[in-house]
Amino acid sequence: MVAGLRPLTDAVAQASGRELSRNEILEAHARHESAAQARTPAKKYSDLLATVYRRLGEEWGAAPDWAACEAYGQSVKDWPAFPDSKDALAYLEEHYRLVILSNVDNRGFAASNARLGVAFDCVYTAEDAGSYKPADQNFDYMLRQLAAIGVEKGRILHTAESLFHDHVPARRHGLATCWIYRRHGEEGYGAAMDPGRQPHIDFRFNSMAELAQAHRHALSE
């Protein structure tokens, strides 16, 4: 996200001399993104990101042209995976069914999936559900689809970083949860909104690699 927004943040710096910090950028993005997702839940993620880019530019006093907004909307394909995700998922797929509940559209996730190199058993996107997490509709959609193939909620461990998008609604739906706390040691919530009250978490690790290692250790025990 920060790399994709660099043309805009560079324009802000040139126009005003204001150097935005990484957290300032991510927190502003989270605010505009979550507002757009709530206001236009059926909008495709690439189109929604274009609107977010425009709103950020207006807020920072460097309103971009629409071509730049659309370019950012298409940048999801360039967002890298976390360095540990590929190997951790390759290990976990030896032991579990892997299911994606993503807030991106199908084209965007296909690009992400190519980087991860994992054959997910099921992929459910915001485009499929017609809404964005943390909406209950996304979780209802996933649970219906999984029930249809014989996977009941008691067998699901919902594993994610965002408390706002994932863990709060997952608890509402009675799911066990595993928090990948990648922002440990950093202030705030970055590209996700403040969830308010901290939800109950069943497991916590600082990376997917730590989760995979904990599983290896549990098997050896």
Pull the structure tokens for residue 197.
Answer: 């009250």
In CATH, what number is assigned to the domain containing residue 51? 1.10.150.750
Tell me whether residue 1 is in a domain.
no
Residue 57 sits in the same domain as residue 131? no
Model confidence over 78-89: pLDDT tens digits? 999 999 999 999
The average pLDDT across 184-211 equals: 95
Q: Give the 3-state DSSP-derived string for 13-59, with helices as H, strands as E and coil as C.
A: HHHHCCCCCHHHHHHHHHHHHHHHHHHCCCCCHHHHHHHHHHHHHHH
Domain boundary among 24, 58, 76: 76
Residue 206 sits in the same domain as residue 146? yes
Residue 64 sits in the same domain as residue 120? no
Residue 66 sits in the same domain as residue 103? no
Q: Residue 18: its pLDDT value, please?
A: 87
Pull the structure tokens for residue 109.
Answer: 């996730």
pTM to 2 decimal places: 0.94
Domain that holds residue 24: 6-76
Residue 32 sits in the same domain as residue 91? no
Model confidence over 100-136: pLDDT tens digits? 999 999 999 999 999 999 999 999 999 999 999 999 9
Q: How far apart are CA 139 and CA 118, in angstroms?
A: 22
Tell me whether residue 47 is in a domain.
yes
